[in-house]
Chains A and B, each alone.
Chain A
């Protein structure tokens, strides 16, 4: 068997494992014959282990041969020869994608094993693993994406599964509202990403990363854009990354995401999803290199997010929210590092941070027990935190900072007040105008939808 054949087999294996898992779980549920808990766990374990082994095998082969760039083509999904239009899926294995891929498989596998016990006999066990499979496929595709569209495919799968997992406890309204909120932020990020992709393609005529960023393996390469083009497209990409990673002003979704079950919070929002924005910035780093202003924006955004999150984490009353903001602090720093032109340091930072945060979040449900055990071991209460900076600040400043942090920077309130409320008000006004118009045309006859609204308004809260 030749080197190329082995590489192709490993590449197919990496992507097919989560795809087959998703097909298995999804089709079984659609056919009304869902798998048992045991079969679900075994299928998940097999898919993750096989995918992880293939990813490690690929890494080993690349290290042995000294290869830094391995593209895997999946052929044309659509081909119109007369129009020179072909739409193919392409994955790339390089110094950025392989570590992120192995990290994804390792953490998702760990969380899968944890969730198998944590959610044992839960009503939504199978639903959780179905969304888990969508997430895994999305992460693998996003990590390995060799084209903008492949990245978008993975990006969308991650977004959908994330929103549905936050709303996992769907018999309560709060998780559902939070899931909807996260989906909204993700859709804004997706729209920014798509527009950036369109603009990028418009400017360069390329969608393949190799074409966009030069043929040199990551982190080399040079984007064929002017400084102005890089700034415009880059700002859209930064907006997309900010939405996906919860940077300000979109940071409000991260603590909301903790409404989901602990395993999903751990791997998705504490470890992997939250780093997707950073992955995007790293992938398009040659564009950042072209514009000093753009790099400065990235640095300022990262540092501001880190500072905000570091303040906010101090006033959180529950451990998952505290961990969410602690996570955001690190993501802010990673973003700033990318803006400063570093490439390998942020990647190492992502890997270390994701592992630590997964461990912390998985331990979160037993935090009190851990504290008690520690206190029993030392025979005294654990020492409280002393803030060395607090006494240097005037009381009013401290009070303001406390309120600012407690209200999570007022970002959600600001978005509600200045974006969502005017939007809803405008379209509700249009709706009312349309209703008046049809009432006028129909000669004042009523509508059933009016009765539905009225019936709902009469319902006791």
Chain B
């Protein structure tokens, strides 16, 4: 397999690990924060290096140069491919921005060392293709939030129960699939268990309560970093999508659609800001799993685009909420707080990220949502309608929260609540990405389209018999048919007439 010019992946993971140990030895909070910031910036640099290096190779997958970790853990342990290439720097960026926007008032409760450890695990997860390696990393990824809960002496039973079940399902499912006869269809029971694990990790209704519980008890930063990279969706793409028969994907899509609408409704009636955020995130992230069911290049492209936009916009939204909480404490949504005049920039960013998450025109989420509906409606019109309903409810919830937090009264403060420089930098970086991705979406969409193509091809290759042929046919058909959607200017550009629907 082709190799990168430098061991970017190894470097980024090891840097984060060494940084975690180094920062963990720091007793001075201010120095720990500074060191964590430097390490996470270096990790982001390596992650971007891997992404750019991969781009220059014009291949669909590549190993690290030398592949130190790969020689220890197996050939497919660390691989960068079309799917993971932009996800690795995205994950590193989310960590950097979270650490950057952690003010000293919050630093006591937020462990920088564990954040870096979590980053190392996440980067390894996103670079891993070996099934058992992925299972191990997904299991390891459940530890940093657990440590955070234990450090804060908060109840852990809900989290432990759910994550314990997640790991159990994952191991059992992968074990059954590993035991299947080579060349035959993978064990149905194994695929079902993997599906259940993915649904659980993604917080799909009715097994989503661990997520609300995590937001209740963990520090906001830890909770945010646990959910926004959407590791459950990654597990679905790597472990389930290539081998699952259609009915498994349909089941995931139905659960996810119900979650999208249900969580949007729940976000509207929440009394408290963190729970509201959790439901808003659940509703949006569920749409990524809906894209799985579509399993056509266009639908999957939409899902992958939504993945990126939701991760970015809702991390920004969560960070803004966290910045506001750092100034006021937990926020009730039953009362008006009137913080606009004190923190106009946070207000503007709250609105911008919230609107980006629902796919408002001009933001990065618009094209992704459009592609997703495009793909979904071709398979089932009800799916498209449900997505529209969920987006409408989420839009209501976002503005409702904005009005409650920033308007309705005049907030009188004895201290200056204006945005600080690190927060301002974090906000501006995300603003550029959210608006830039909305105004010039072509590079992002092209990259996600190539990744979607690979996933569809991989699925067609790995599924035996009719199911594989059906998937291949579905992918091929979608190349010749302009599927039905709200998109207007979408018509065949080839000279040949479109195939009959």
Contact = CB atoms under 8 A, between A and B. Distances in A.
A78 B441 contact: yes
A84 B407 contact: no
Interface stretch (A51-59, A219-227, A339-347, A447-455): A447-455
Interface string A360-374: 000000000000000
Contacts of B442: 76-79
B298 interface: yes
A194 interface: yes
Interface stretch (B4-12, B49-57, B328-336): B328-336
A438 B332 contact: no
Given A207-B488, A443-B155, A438 B336 contact: no
Which residue among B385, B431, B485 has the maximum number of chain A CB atoms within 10 Å of its CB? B485
Contacts of A451: 330
A190 B393 CA distance: 11
Interface stretch (A171-179, A248-256, A267-275, A382-390): A171-179
Given A83-B479, A84-B482, A86-B490, A431 B269 contact: yes
A160 B354 CA distance: 12
Given A77-B442, A449-B275, A453-B272, A198 B392 contact: no
B405 to A, nearest CB: 11
Contact of B480 (A84, A428, A441): A84
A85 B345 contact: no
B161 interface: yes
B196 to A, nearest CB: 18
B26 interface: no
A207 to B, nearest CB: 3
Interface string A144-182: 001111101100110010010001001111001101100
A80 B399 contact: no
B408 A170 contact: yes
Contact of B373 (A150, A198, A449): A198
Nearest to A203: B484
Which residue among B389, B393, B395 has the maximum number of chain A CB atoms within 10 Å of its CB? B395
A459 B407 CA distance: 18
Contact of A84 (B428, B485, B491): B491
A85 B298 contact: yes
A87 B485 contact: no
A202 B381 contact: yes
Interface residues of B: mostly helix, strand, loop or mixed?
helix
Contact of A442 (B155, B355, B492): B155
B212 A441 contact: no
A187 B490 CA distance: 25
Contacts of B400: 180
A197 B486 contact: yes
Interface string A409-424: 0000000000000011
A195 B376 CA distance: 13
A91 B480 CA distance: 27
B360 A156 contact: yes
A213 B393 CA distance: 31
B217 to A, nearest CB: 8
Contacts of A84: 479-480, 482, 490-494, 498
Contacts of A426: 265
A437 B403 CA distance: 30
Nearest to B155: A445
B489 interface: yes
Interface residues of A: mostly helix, strand, loop or mixed?
helix
Contact of B209 (A149, A191, A434): A434
B139 to A, nearest CB: 21
Nearest to A130: B348
Contacts of A20: none
Contacts of B172: none
A442 B410 contact: no
Contacts of A184: 396
Nearest to B442: A78
B140 interface: no
Contacts of A214: none
A394 interface: no
A41 to B, nearest CB: 20
A172 B408 contact: yes
Contact of B213 (A148, A428, A438): A438
Contacts of B399: 163, 179-180, 183
B445 A90 contact: no
Given A173-B336, A452-B271, A452-B272, A438 B158 contact: yes
Nearest to B496: A84
Given A195-B388, A207-B490, A171 B155 contact: no
B365 interface: no
A153 B424 CA distance: 29
A430 B282 CA distance: 15
Interface in B314-344: 330-332, 334-336, 338, 340-341, 344
A113 interface: no
Contact of A157 (B344, B361, B445, B485): B361
B416 to A, nearest CB: 14
A88 B209 contact: no
B341 A123 contact: yes
Nearest to B216: A447
Contacts of A191: 388-389, 391-392
A432 to B, nearest CB: 10
Nearest to A88: B489
Given A428-B269, A453-B271, A167 B407 contact: yes
A163 B396 CA distance: 11
Contacts of B147: none
A452 B403 contact: no
B245 interface: no
Contacts of A30: 345, 348, 428, 431
Contacts of B216: 447-449
Interface in B448-501: 449, 478-480, 482, 484-494, 498, 501
B47 to A, nearest CB: 25
B200 to A, nearest CB: 14
B481 to A, nearest CB: 8
Contacts of B410: 171
Given A427-B265, A434-B212, A207 B489 contact: yes
A87 B489 contact: yes
Contacts of B213: 438, 441-442
A254 to B, nearest CB: 19
A199 B441 CA distance: 26
Given A208-B489, A456-B334, A441 B403 contact: no
Contacts of A152: 361, 486
B102 to A, nearest CB: 19
A427 B268 contact: yes
A13 interface: no
Contacts of A442: 155, 157-158, 213
Interface of B: 155, 157-158, 161, 209, 212-213, 216-217, 262, 265-266, 268-272, 274-275, 297-298, 301, 330-332, 334-336, 338, 340-341, 344-345, 348, 355, 360-362, 367, 370, 373-374, 377, 381, 384-385, 388-389, 391-393, 395-396, 399-400, 403, 406-410, 424, 428, 431, 441-442, 445-446, 449, 478-480, 482, 484-494, 498, 501
Closest CB pairs A-B (n = 9): A207-B488, A147-B488, A170-B407, A202-B484, A449-B272, A445-B155, A197-B486, A191-B392, A153-B361
Given A29-B344, A32-B345, A453-B271, 13 more contacts: A31-B428, A83-B297, A84-B491, A85-B298, A87-B370, A179-B399, A195-B388, A198-B486, A424-B269, A427-B265, A431-B270, A443-B155, A452-B330
18 contacts: A78-B367, A80-B449, A90-B488, A170-B408, A187-B393, A197-B486, A198-B377, A198-B381, A198-B385, A202-B485, A430-B262, A430-B266, A441-B158, A441-B213, A447-B217, A449-B271, A449-B330, A455-B332
